[in-house]
Amino acid sequence: MTWTVRLEPIGVTATLADGQPLIEALVDHGLHVLQECGRRGMCATCHVYIEQGMAQLSPKNRREERTLAVVTTAQPHSRLACQTKVLGNGVVVRVPQGMYLDVMEDIEALIGRRTEQDLVHPITGEVLVETGKLITRSIVDQLRATRIQVSEYLRQTREASFSD
């Protein structure tokens, strides 16, 4: 059995097999999802908002609840796409605006240019660099420091999840 899922604001309809994680629909349609934690529900780089059809999704597990609790942009209808299985038709997903902090080389290449969209923190969803801001060397250095914090956070979370 397959289900259709609507992705907004790009206006795409994706098809997923019963029980397939929502993240597959995002990746299949070329959306850049960083998947920093390897789809283990620990990084929130696959955070999406469910506009319709919450009842057609698998319930949140404990890890997803814990991760969403530290995402500053999370709302009651937030889900982590890697942890969310689609179980029926009628799901409408809104992908958050903004580009997650990605490979540092890509950001280095932006020095001297203006951001075309917000750069957001991969864990908290906080906006690090707003749209239209000029990327300078010092911004890149700050982003690099954030990147190190993110790796450290994921390492600690991974260790904590093994001792659960």
Nearer to ligand FES, 63 or 133 (CB): 63
**What H or E segment, with its residue span, contains residue 41?**
none
Strands (E), 20-77: 47-52
Burial of 107 (0-12, 13-18, 19+ CB in 10 A): buried
Nearer to ligand FES, 44 or 110 (CB): 44
Q: Nearest distance from residue 88's CB to ligand FES, in Å? A: 21
Nearer to ligand FES, 6 or 79 (CB): 79
Specify which residues 16 forms β-bridges with. 3
- Pattern 53-82, binding to ligand FES, x per CB under 6 A? ---------------------------x-x
> Is residue 143 within 8 Å of 104, Cβ to Cβ?
yes
Q: Hey, which residues between 21 and 50 contact ligand FES (CB under 6 A)?
A: 35-37, 39, 41-46
3 state DSSP class of 108: helix
Residues that bind ligand FES (CB under 6 A): 35-37, 39, 41-46, 80, 82
